[in-house]
Amino acid sequence: MTLTPYQIVAPIVSLIAITYAWSLVFRRKKTLWEAVLWSLFWGMVAWFALQPDIVGYLAVVTGIQDRENAVVITFLGILFLLVFTLVIRIEELEQRQTRIVRRIALKDAGMEDKEKGE
């Protein structure tokens, strides 16, 4: 079996992306969940690059006739999942920021005791 340039480059890029994601986890800049999702996504990219026949199985499982369409639809689904996860994370951060700003404002106004009573 001869390897195409894509079959060489895609796994290397995938390995770099996965390594980078886990280094961010170890430096506590990303969560474990984010690294797992990132690893699954790039692992699938490398897997599909090295084993293109698996795409035919994916087409059968999803019911999509063309292999290329099956790949595009599957990765769009994965990307939408990642975007959804990011939106949830951003909303959590906004709520956290709002609580912190309220706490600081009440402290500056000398009303922090009232907040504890609520």
User: Whole-angstrom Cα distance, residue 31 to residue 34?
Assistant: 5
Check: CB of residue 52 under 8 Å from CB of residue 69.
no
User: Whole-angstrom Cα distance, residue 97 to residue 114?
Assistant: 20
The residues, ordered by sequence, that sit 6+ positions from 18 with a Cβ below 8 Å of its Cβ are 38, 39, 42, 43
Say what the pLDDT of residue 114 is: 54
Check: CB of residue 35 under 8 Å from CB of residue 25.
yes
Domain residue ranges in the chain:
1-52, 53-118
Average pLDDT per 10 consecutive residues for the chain, totaling 118 residues? 83 92 89 88 88 80 75 77 82 93 91 59
